Amino acid sequence: MGITATTLKVNGLDMHVVMEGAGPDVLLLHGFPDTHAIWRHQVPALAAAGFRVIAPDLRGCGLTSMPSKVSDYHLTHLVADVIALLDVLGIAKVRLVAHDWGAVIGWQLALQHPERVERYCALSVGHPSCYATGGLKQKLKGYYIALFQIPWLPERALKLCDWAPLRWLTRCSHEMDHWRAALARPGRMRAGINYYRANLGLIVPRERGCARVPVLGIYSSQDIALVEAQMTRSAQYCKAGWRYIRFDGVGHWIASEAPQQLNPVLIDFLQ
Beta-sheet strand order (sheet of 215-222) = 4-10, 13-20, 52-56, 25-29, 94-99, 117-123, 215-222, 242-251
Predicted pLDDT of residue 136: 93
Q: Phi and psi dihedrals of 35, rounded to 5?
A: -130, -170
Contact between 263 and 114 under an 8 Å Cβ cutoff? The reply is no
Task: Assess whether pLDDT exceeds 90 at residue 112.
Answer: yes
At 259 the pLDDT is: 98
DSSP H helices, 27-93, are 42-48, 75-88
What share of the chain in percent tops pLDDT 70? 100
More confident of the two residues 2 and 169: 169
Across the chain, the runs of DSSP E, i.e. the strands, are 4-10, 13-20, 25-29, 52-56, 94-99, 117-123, 215-222, 242-251
Residue 266 has pLDDT above 80, yes or no: yes
pLDDT-derived band at 207 (thresholds 50, 70, 90) equals confident
d(CA 19, CA 40): 11
Tell me the pLDDT band of 205, cut-offs 50, 70 and 90.
confident
Q: What is the pLDDT of residues 132-173, one digit of tens each?
A: 999 999 999 999 999 999 999 999 999 999 999 999 999 999
pLDDT of residue 1 exceeding 90: no
Nearest-angstrom CA–CA distance, 127 and 109 = 12
Residues 37-90 have pLDDT tens digits of 999 999 999 999 999 999 999 999 999 999 999 999 999 999 999 999 999 999
Query: Which carries the bigger pLDDT value, residue 25 or residue 1?
Result: 25
Helical packing angle, 176-183 and 160-170, nearest 10°: 130
